[in-house]
Amino acid sequence: MSVRVTLNCQVKADQFELLYPFLEINLPNVRGFQGNRRVSVLYDTNSDEMLLDEEWLSVESHQAYLQHIAENGVLAKLAEFLLSPPQIKYFEQLDV
């Protein structure tokens, strides 16, 4: 079973052009981290809102990744592009 993780991020005005190359460099690291199955990035240019839509083996595997990027500085660098910390939500898929 896997878990769907969404991270809603409010990007600072005029920062997406700088954020985009950061994402290009760092998304392969997310995709290669143990437990990650998929990452998609969605962006609303009207509101400067970015949605990271991810699939992980478990909540724990995602939280291990967050700990990893907190320790190596990537999370702090991402935060520089955002107005506030991402809103993180965990969803389990229902078989209905």
- What pLDDT sits at residue 1? 76
The pLDDT, as a whole number, for residue 93 is 84
Domain residue limits at 67? 3-91
Provide the strand spans (E) within 1-96: 3-10, 36-44, 49-56, 87-92
Q: In this predicted structure, what is the pLDDT of residue 49?
A: 98
Provide mean pLDDT across the span 1-22. Answer: 96
Residue 67 in any domain: the answer is: yes
Tell me if 96 is assigned to some domain: no
Total tally of structural domains belonging to the chain: 1
Query: Residue 20 domain-assigned?
Result: yes
Whether residue 60 lies inside any domain: the answer is yes
Whether 39 is covered by a domain: the verdict is: yes
76 is a domain residue: yes
- Here the CATH number for the domain that contains residue 35 is 3.30.70.100
Per-residue pLDDT tens digits for 19-58: 999 999 999 999 999 999 999 999 999 999 999 999 999 9
pLDDT at 96: 85
Report pLDDT for 48.
97
**For residues 58 and 4, is the Cβ–Cβ distance under 8 A?**
no
